[in-house]
Amino acid sequence: MGFQMDKKNILDRYKKAEEKLLISKFLDKIDISSKTNKIETTDFLNEIEQNIIRNVINLIKFENYEFYGGTKNSDRKIIIIYPEKMRDLFKSHKFKYDTLLSVFRILVNTTNVLDYSHSVYLGGIIKLGLKREKIGDILINNEGADIIVKKESEKFLYANLNSLTRFKDADISVISLGEVINVEKNFQDIKIITSSLRLDNIVSELAKTSRNVANQILEQDRVFVNYENETKSTKQIKEKDVVTIRGKGKFIIDEIAGNTKKGNYIIMVKKYS
């Protein structure tokens, strides 16, 4: 493939070691798929990582791929890289995704099911030794949760989930992707007031910190606007921008609702729960 000759040039476009590693692994997967004529998959990627790979895909003009997370609104997704001979199978939506992903349904036998937050489920699985990148979305409902994982982790989790104290009385089963309860995303509506739409002002309000600390957060590469890393404090934020602050959360600038008597901006924000 043509991109192989340009791999170094592609990697040179990125400064961070973790980005270079992510891209290098992806390009290697394409190479392996081409040579073996078989499907290759990445681990689960968050939305920022997905955006990086989308940029690379556009750069190399690669076509035989699909982002997939198990549900229509998945946040975390794997990338499926397939050989040319399987293009029609994917384009006609006849591929069986259950061969790549598994879903664990955990029904919690307790009156305190609402105490089982996302971090409780995730923390338990990681405690068993499974890496975060092997775990997709955790969809919490009124009875427990559906947890999407890579197929390769199914046997290990099935044998070990009940060994965790938090899940020892839970009803654990493996279900098909078609049975997943697709839970609506929850948001917390908040209002911020800021003197300008500059990114440092917005970060200061969202992170509930001073402008000086907000600028330090920007300098630490912890801020992303629409999943692109942004360090420029003067960048102007607009409605529907997605601002992610590592360690603080993800926010949608839902509406710039007007101004106060002093001329400050009133901004309605949706924070991902």
Domain shared by 191 and 261, yes or no: yes
pLDDT digits (tens, 9 = 90+) for 74-91: 999 999 999 999 999 999
Residues ≥6 apart with Cβ < 8 Å to 68: 74, 77, 78, 79, 80, 97, 100, 101
Q: Is 81 in the same domain as 136?
A: no
Q: Residues 174, 136: one domain?
A: yes
Taking 90 as the threshold, does the pLDDT of residue 184 lie above it? no
DSSP 3-state of 69: coil
Locate tokens 């476009």: which residue? 13
CATH number of the domain residue 68 falls in: 3.30.1370.160
SS3 of residue 21 by DSSP: helix
CB-based contact 133:43 (threshold 8 Å): yes
Average pLDDT, the chain: 94
Percent of the chain residues topping a pLDDT of 90? 86
Single out the residue in 40, 67, 95 at which a domain terminates.
95
CATH number of the domain where residue 257 is located: 3.10.290.10
Asked if residue 145 and residue 91 are part of one domain, the reply reads no
Where in 152-197 does DSSP place strands (E)? 171-175, 187-194
- How many folded domains does the chain comprise? 3
Q: 26-60 pLDDT, tens per residue?
A: 999 999 999 999 999 999 999 999 999 999 999 99
- Predicted local distance difference test score (pLDDT) of residue 99: 98
Structural domain range at position 253: 187-272
Do 126 and 194 share a domain, yes or no? no
